[in-house]
A and B are shown apart, each in its own frame.
Chain A
Amino acid sequence: MPTFVYMTRCDGCGHCVDICPSDIMHIDDVTRRAYNIEPNMCWECYSCVKACPMNAIDVRGYADFAPLGHSVRVRRDEEKGVIAWRIIFRNGKKDWDLLAPITTKPWGTAIPNLKEAAAPSQEMRDSQLLYNEPGYIRMDDGDLHTLESNGLKFKEGVYY
């Protein structure tokens, strides 16, 4: 479910506005705090939730991983290279911590230079794959893909 901002925690820094892929996190003209201008268009990608330095943005979790009314909060600690999640059920009895490595590229290193990219060949045009879609993320042509099975290594700097 879409993002929402705890107005008392937000200091209007604008990180969420910068990072939102849907361009729906804006700064309110009157209160100078961030808010989601169009919740219908929110992808729930959690980019803003993880980027917020004040932990002021939350997303209400779906009922498919916890009964409604729970709290799901996330912290992206880039210095340690991990993302931590905490899910608390609404009765408070289930309090669950999850921890996983960050698997995206370092901030600012993956800005696509599409102007320099070669035009797609006919074979690429006929393919079902999207532009630049790596074959190894496909799940329908074999077993589960891992770093090892694709000849990749986890390197310092949060690379894949």
Chain B
Amino acid sequence: MNIANPFAELAASISPSVMAWYVVLMVLLVIGGTILDMMHKKSAKYFFENAKRQKARAVRELDSGEKMSLALKTLGHEVLTSGEFKNPKRRLSHLMTMYGFILFVVSTAVMIFGYADSADAGIWPLLWYLGAISLALGGLWFWFFIRVDVFSEGLPWYQVGRDDIFIVSLITTSVFGLLWAFTQGSTLGWVLFALFILSSTTLFGTVLWSKFAHMFFKPAAAYNKRIVWADGSRDNLPDVPDLTDPQVQEKFPDIPTYMGKKPPYMGLGIKRETPNHY
């Protein structure tokens, strides 16, 4: 059984071309907001200046094969599976939100541009609902339980700051979108539709003030982090060499004196516990 395209019924009241122009406008707002964000924060300038400084400290030159391999590792670990999050709950919540958002946005665009006047849009309505549910669950889980100031400082859920624009508008977009889809045709449905549009316009129109643009910067930062470790500059951090290496033992005589020629595995230390005392 195919699920009905939620935009087909809407097309009876709002022209598909208006919907299409709204999507185009949102894309333009995201592009413009991201460019303004980069200019305002000078993040790209800092990023490239820092990359240049690190390159000057590089111990060796990376060939294109190595760079490609690092790019693939970044794609597999940080981009597709959010491996940079040490907290597994945070990671799962981020994955739900990220994939939910991608499904939601892509299926919305496909249904508006391809199936605006057809109730049967194949698998896309199902993907739209799944995306919205995943986005809403991941976002609400983060908002009420995981975000650090809730977890650590006990701040109430209704205390919203400027940097919450992104997560709050993500949650409200998905929740109001879902509620609108279920109540279409009624007066309540139109109220929810207005809230849905208000939320999505806030989400895509406030890139300059929100953390929306992190999705474009984070892969570049994660790739750069792998590059600086591979080329030996290591972001100015020290290397922790193989302690059984005789050359290392000669250079640092404290190691064999106190730890022996073959230092044992010392355990996880601070990593054995997640931080929860604050």
Q: Chain B's interface: helix, strand, loop or mixed, by majority?
A: loop
Q: Roughly how many angstroms separate A31 CA and B243 CA in the complex, as a whole number?
A: 39
Whether B269 is near chain A, meaning CB under 8 Å from some CB there, is yes
Whether A106 is near chain B, meaning CB under 8 Å from some CB there, is yes
Q: Within 8 Å CB of A55, what residues of B?
A: 235, 237
Q: Roughly how many angstroms separate A108 CA and B275 CA in the complex, as a whole number?
A: 12
Interface centre among B148, B263, B277 (most CB of A within 10 A): B148
Query: Hey, what's the 0/1 contact readout for A41-82 against B, CB within 8 Å counting as 1?
Result: 000000000010101000000000000000101111111111
- Asked if A80 meets B243 with Cβ closer than 8 Å, knowing A101-B258, A158-B269, the reply is yes
CB-contact partner of B258 in A77, A86, A147, A157, under 8 A: A147
Q: Within 8 Å CB of B243, what residues of A?
A: 80, 82
Query: Hey, what's the 0/1 contact readout for B115-139 against A, CB within 8 Å counting as 1?
Result: 0000000000000000000000000
- Asked if A13 meets B259 with Cβ closer than 8 Å, knowing A51-B270, A79-B267, the reply is no
Q: Within 8 Å CB of A157, what residues of B?
A: 266-267
Query: Hey, what's the 0/1 contact readout for B221-249 against A, CB within 8 Å counting as 1?
Result: 10000000000001111111101000010
Contact A79 B266 (CB under 8 A): yes
- Asked if A78 meets B258 with Cβ closer than 8 Å, knowing A31-B163, A73-B237, A84-B238, the reply is no
Contact B84 A14 (CB under 8 A): no
Q: Roughly how many angstroms separate A106 CA and B268 CA in the complex, as a whole number?
A: 9
Stretch in B4-12, B60-68, B104-112, B149-157 touching the partner: B149-157
Contact A78 B84 (CB under 8 A): no
Query: Hey, what's the 0/1 contact readout for B253-278 against A, CB within 8 Å counting as 1?
Result: 01100111001111111111101111
- Residues of A1-36 at the interface with B, using a CB-CB cut-off of 8 Å, are 8, 11-15, 17-19, 27, 29-32
Task: State the interface size on chain B (CB cutoff 8 A).
Answer: 50
Q: Within 8 Å CB of B162, what residues of A?
A: 30
Whether B52 is near chain A, meaning CB under 8 Å from some CB there, is no
Whether B87 is near chain A, meaning CB under 8 Å from some CB there, is yes
Q: Within 8 Å CB of A108, what residues of B?
A: 272-273
Whether A136 is near chain B, meaning CB under 8 Å from some CB there, is no
Q: Within 8 Å CB of B272, what residues of A?
A: 107-108
Q: Roughly how many angstroms separate A158 CA and B265 CA in the complex, as a whole number?
A: 10
Contact A80 B86 (CB under 8 A): no
Q: Roughly how many angstroms separate A108 CA and B151 CA in the complex, as a whole number?
A: 21
Q: Within 8 Å CB of A156, what residues of B?
A: 264, 266
Given contacts A32-B149, A77-B240, A84-B238, 14 further A-B contacts (CB under 8 A): A14-B275, A18-B276, A27-B148, A29-B155, A29-B159, A78-B266, A78-B269, A78-B270, A80-B266, A82-B240, A88-B57, A98-B252, A107-B269, A154-B260
- 18 example contacts (A-B, Cβ-Cβ < 8 A) are as follows A12-B148, A13-B275, A17-B278, A29-B149, A30-B161, A32-B149, A55-B235, A78-B266, A80-B240, A84-B240, A85-B238, A86-B237, A92-B56, A97-B239, A99-B255, A106-B269, A107-B269, A107-B273
